[in-house]
């Protein structure tokens, strides 16, 4: 089975259970296609995400998706009846048109890549999008519902019932959330199953020894929002200091309440004891767990009814053999067994929380016993290999869309690397792509950055659906930071080059290259063509990372220095050069690029054709010669790869 995953936003640093689940499914042999409607809000990513084999596909900008919508309405693929129905039933706050636009992209992606079934985490925006995706593509879906997603975020029980009815099955995160779902969606109760989140104990290979600290160390982790109850933890620490106990408390996480919480800490004169550390990587959190005596999470229900349901960080603390102090709320008692693996207090009761913490601070033997019991509970019930088994069984039992596997290209594909689009320096790009298509040259055009200020012509709109857009700057920066070793290697290689590209251009193109590197093997790319000197820098970096051949088109007024371009061209198979001085001694693989020699308004293409003597919109010897070169380079690269692998 080829399984799709659809997220509203991925990755999110507080949702490590999603990463753990997908990594486990890949280990079980499933091929995943990961889609995210929106890019992450932060560039911080946990280190283990780099282990995912599947690349993350992000929806193009809404400006492009509106073109998808326009084209879908013209060709009959727009789910207009369902959009109209949802707008009547759930009003415009449900954003049905936007959900349908997003669904168009992922329906195309999942269909092209042979996805049989897709799964959605959280019964909210992505699950609503799933209804439209299924309507467009016929691909069945399932949902994991957590708690706050369907209780608060979705905001409509009628829509929740429609999502559950449309899904093949619904996985509820806990018995608590399953009960709530069955109450709200009684007609779907038979298809709602409890499927716990699990923990990868390979990351905690042995129970960590308890530390002996002169001052008791308390650790808490979570977003700084109301339902995490950090103000009650601060009050409990204040009470403990009044009782004469020596302690420190570190709070990992960030959020809108940071200033308020810091003000409370300062008001209680606890700044020397309580520290707000901000967001940390998962590796750094694990190090904090190694050093702590007690893990505490003072979860409550906030004013809107939101709460923790099954906090993953408690799983991590118990896996690290640390005793837990938390509250009797939602699914937490399914995880923490009171007076066996930790202590539970009533939500919002700072005094009771302080009493539980004091009991563990004063009794190191009790801390050790609870910590070991917590680790044993993880091994017995919450190891990821065990918790993912019911999900696998449900997927195997569900009907799948019988689809052809992704097409295997007898001749590997060619990637066009486009620095930005639309670009006035590439006035003939769409015509060139059209000419290559007419000659059956398989081109995958990757756009590194959308020029949102540009005006789209009809030709551009026709091509917009065929372009592959990289995600926004935040996602690209996250990919760069996640791959620090690779980033450092690229920077060091630049230092050692005789001809160095300007730093600002290099850093931009290197980030694009790191973001592209997982997409090229998926598309079976054997050759890269850089459509400008800027894109050539990106392509040459990719040449070193993924072992492809490179060609380039150099524009009339390149941004990079002439000396760098001359050096870079020596690493290219060939290309098109608008400067005749660059062509001598480069051989027949470098053409004089008459088409890019002139700068002109797009509406005067016909006048340009007359001037250069080349028909740019119909078959012509110029494009024929270029297509033959591209085909030859692609074939040679694919043959070299085949011989190497043999």
- In this structure, the answer to whether residues 184 and 226 fall within a common structural domain is no
In this predicted structure, what is the pLDDT of residue 491? 95
Strand ranges, E, within 253-315:
274-278, 294-296
User: End of a domain among 163, 197, 231?
Assistant: 197
Could you tell me which residue, 57 or 645, shows the higher pLDDT? 57
Inform me whether the pLDDT recorded for 133 exceeds 80.
yes
Residue 3 and residue 119 in contact, taking contact as beta carbons nearer than 8 Å: yes
Mean pLDDT confidence for 621-625: 90
pLDDT in tens, 467-516: 999 999 999 999 998 888 999 999 999 999 999 999 999 999 999 999 99
Q: Identify whether residues 250 and 316 lie together within a single domain.
A: yes
Do 331 and 465 lie in one domain? The reply is no
Could you tell me the CA-to-CA distances from 261 to 217, 250, 351, 559 in Å, in that order? 19, 13, 18, 49
Task: Answer whether 194's CB lies under 8 Å from 312's CB.
Answer: no
How would residue 402 be classed by pLDDT, with cut points 50, 70 and 90? low
Question: Which stretches within 403-556 are classed as H helix?
Answer: 429-438, 458-464, 473-482, 484-495, 503-516, 519-522, 533-546
Please state the three-class secondary structure of 468-513 as a single string. EECCCHHHHHHHHHHCHHHHHHHHHHHHCCCCCCCHHHHHHHHHHH
User: Looking at the structure, do residues 149 and 222 belong to the same domain, yes or no?
Assistant: no
Looking at 364, 383, 402, the residue that finishes a domain is: 383
Residue 521 lies in a domain: yes
For residue 89 the two structure tokens come to 């039933």
Q: What is the pLDDT of residue 58?
A: 96
> Which DSSP letter does residue 592 get?
E
Task: Tell whether 13 and 123 lie within a shared domain.
Answer: yes
pLDDT reported for residue 602: 47
Look at residues 386, 385, 389, 441 and name the one whose alpha carbon lies nearest to residue 416: 441
Confidence at residue 304, expressed as pLDDT on a 0 to 100 scale = 86
Per-residue pLDDT at 393 exceeds 60: yes
The verdict on residue 234 lying in a domain is: yes
Whether 603 and 585 share a structural domain: yes
Residue-by-residue DSSP string for 238-279: HHHHHTT--EEEEEEB--TTHHHHHHHHHHTT-TTTEEEEE-
- In whole angstroms, what is the distance from residue 18 CA to residue 197 CA? 8
Give the pLDDT score at 620.
67
List pLDDT tens digits, range 575-622.
999 888 877 767 789 998 866 544 445 445 555 444 544 454 444 688
The model's pLDDT over 306-346, given as tens digits with 9 standing for 90+, comes to 899 999 999 999 999 999 999 999 999 999 999 999 999 99
Count of CB atoms situated within 10 Å of the CB of 399: 9
Domain boundary among the residues 197, 228, 258 is at 197
User: What's the pLDDT score for residue 211?
Assistant: 60
Q: 41-83: per-residue pLDDT in tens?
A: 888 777 778 889 999 999 999 999 999 999 999 999 999 999 9
In a domain, 625, yes or no: yes
Same domain? For 315 and 291 the reply is yes
Residues 193 and 209 in one domain: no
Q: What is the C-alpha separation between 596 and 167, in angstroms, rounded?
A: 52
The values of phi and psi at residue 420, to 5°, are -145, 155
Expressed as residue numbers, the domain containing 632 is: 413-645
Q: Which residues partner with 296 through β-bridges?
A: 325
Using a pLDDT cut of 70, give the percent of the chain over it.
92
What average pLDDT does this structure show over 112-140?
Answer: 96
What pLDDT sits at residue 369?
96
The token pair at 361 is: 């601070």
Beta strands 525-530 and 468-469 are: unpaired
Domain count, the chain: 3
Q: What percent of the chain has pLDDT over 90?
A: 74
For β-strands 216-221 and 247-252, DSSP reports them as parallel
Query: Is the pLDDT reported for residue 643 higher than 90?
Result: no
Position 397 in a domain: no
> Are residues 436 and 565 both part of a single domain?
yes
What's the confidence (pLDDT) of residue 599? 45
Confidence band of 411 (pLDDT split at 50, 70, 90):
low
Instruction: Give 327's contacts (C-beta < 8 A, 6+ positions apart).
Output: 229, 297, 298, 299, 300, 344, 345, 346, 347, 348, 353
Mean per-residue pLDDT for 414-434? 93
Closest-CA residue to 264 (of 251, 274, 277)? 274
Q: What is the pLDDT of residue 98?
A: 95
Question: Quick one: which of 566, 590, 588 has its CA closest to 577?
Answer: 590
pLDDT band at 153 (very low <50, low <70, confident <90, very high): confident
Q: In whole numbers, what is the pLDDT of the chain averaged over residues? A: 90
Residue 613: per-residue pLDDT: 47
User: What's the pLDDT at 209?
Assistant: 62
Q: Of 105-119, 446-460, 612-626, where does mean pLDDT reach its minimum?
A: 612-626
Q: How does residue 13 score in pLDDT terms, banded at 50, 70 and 90?
A: confident
**392 assigned to some structural domain:** no
Same domain, 108 and 183: yes
646 vs 639, 640, 641, 642, CA distance in Å?
10, 10, 9, 6
CA distance 57 to 33: 8
pLDDT at 77: 93
Range picked from 13-22, 355-364, 555-564 for highest mean pLDDT: 355-364
Structure tokens at 88: 């009547």
With 0-12 / 13-18 / 19 or more C-beta atoms within 10 angstroms meaning exposed / middle / buried, residue 583 is: middle
In a 3-state reduction of DSSP, which class is residue 578?
Answer: coil
**pLDDT, position 600:** 47
Q: What is the dihedral of CA 346, 347, 351, 353, to 10 degrees?
A: 80
**Domain assignment of residue 393, yes or no:** no
Is the domain of 179 the same as that of 254? no
How far apart are alpha carbons 11 and 569 in whole angstroms?
A: 38
Mean pLDDT of 558-576: 94
pLDDT at 46: 74
Is 283 inside any structural domain? yes
Same domain, 81 and 210: no
Helices (H) and strands (E) in the chain, counts: 26, 20
Q: What is the CATH number of the domain that holds 554?
A: 3.40.50.2000
Can you give the pLDDT at residue 237? 97
CA distance 485 to 47: 12
Count of alpha carbons within 13 angstroms of residue 302, beta-carbon side:
17
Residue 363 lies in a domain: yes
């Amino acid at each position: 089975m080829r399984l799709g995953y659809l997220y509203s936003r991925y990755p999110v640093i507080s949702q490590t259970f999603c990463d753990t689940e997908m990594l486990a499914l890949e280990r079980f042999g499933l091929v995943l296609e990961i889609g995210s409607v929106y890019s992450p809000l932060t560039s911080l990513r946990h280190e283990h995400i780099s282990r995912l084999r599947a690349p993350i596909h992000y929806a193009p900008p809404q400006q492009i998706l509106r073109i998808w919508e326009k084209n879908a309405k013209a060709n009959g693929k727009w789910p207009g009846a369902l959009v109209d129905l949802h707008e009547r039933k759930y009003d415009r706050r449900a954003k049905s048109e936007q959900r349908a636009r997003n669904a168009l992209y992922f329906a195309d992606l999942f269909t092209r890549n042979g996805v049989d079934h897709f799964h959605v985490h959280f019964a909210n925006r992505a699950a609503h999008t799933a209804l439209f995706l299924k309507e467009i593509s016929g691909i069945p879906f399932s949902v994991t519902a957590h708690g706050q997603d369907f209780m608060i975020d979705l905001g409509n029980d009628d829509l929740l019932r429609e999502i559950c009815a449309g899904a093949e099955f619904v996985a509820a995160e806990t018995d608590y959330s399953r009960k709530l779902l069955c109450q709200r969606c009684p007609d779907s109760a038979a298809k709602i199953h409890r499927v716990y989140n699990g923990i990868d104990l390979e990351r905690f290979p042995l129970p960590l020894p308890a530390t002996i600290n002169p001052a008791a160390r308390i650790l808490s982790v979570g977003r700084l929002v109301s339902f995490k109850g950090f103000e009650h933890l601060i009050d409990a620490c204040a009470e403990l200091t009044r009782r004469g106990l020596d302690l420190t408390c570190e709070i990992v996480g960030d959020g809108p309440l940071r200033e308020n919480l810091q003000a409370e800490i300062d008001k209680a004169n606890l700044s020397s004891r309580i520290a707000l550390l901000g967001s940390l990587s998962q590796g750094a959190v694990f190090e904090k767990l190694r050093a702590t005596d007690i893990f505490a999470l003072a979860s409550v229900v906030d004013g809107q009814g939101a709460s923790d349901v099954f906090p993953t960080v408690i799983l991590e603390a118990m896996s690290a053999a640390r005793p837990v102090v938390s509250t009797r709320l939602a699914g937490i008692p399914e995880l923490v067994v009171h007076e066996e693996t930790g202590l539970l207090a009533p939500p919002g009761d700072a005094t009771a929380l302080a009493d539980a913490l004091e009991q563990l601070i004063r009794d190191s033997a009790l801390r050790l016993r609870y910590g070991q019991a917590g680790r044993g509970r993880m091994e017995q019930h919450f190891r990821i290999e065990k918790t993912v088994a019911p999900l696998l069984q449900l997927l195997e039992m569900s009907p799948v869309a019988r689809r052809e596997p992704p097409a295997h290209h007898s001749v590997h594909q060619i990637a066009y690397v486009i620095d930005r689009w639309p670009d006035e320096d590439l006035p003939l790009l769409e015509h060139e792509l059209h000419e290559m298509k007419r000659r059956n040259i398989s081109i995958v055009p990757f756009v590194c950055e959308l020029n949102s200020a540009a005006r789209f012509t009809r030709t551009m709109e026709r091509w917009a659906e065929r372009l592959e857009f990289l995600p926004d700057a935040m996602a690209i920066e996250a990919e760069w930071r996640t791959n620090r070793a690779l980033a450092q290697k690229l920077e060091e290689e630049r230092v050692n080059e005789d001809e160095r590209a300007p730093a600002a251009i290099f850093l931009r193109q290197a980030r694009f290259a790191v973001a592209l590197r997982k997409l090229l093997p998926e598309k079976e790319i054997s050759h890269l063509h850089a459509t400008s000197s800027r894109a050539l820098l990106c392509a040459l970096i990719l040449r070193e990372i993924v072992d492809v051949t490179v060609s380039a088109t150099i524009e009339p007024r390149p941004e990079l220095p002439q000396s760098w371009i001359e050096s870079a061209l020596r690493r290219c198979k060939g290309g098109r050069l608008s400067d005749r001085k660059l062509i001598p001694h480069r051989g027949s693989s470098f053409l004089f690029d008459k088409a890019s020699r002139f700068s002109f308004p797009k509406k005067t293409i016909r006048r340009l054709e007359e001037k250069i003597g080349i028909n740019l919109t119909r078959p012509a010897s110029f494009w024929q010669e270029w297509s033959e070169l591209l085909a030859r380079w692609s074939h040679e690269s694919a043959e070299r790869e085949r011989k190497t692998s043999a």
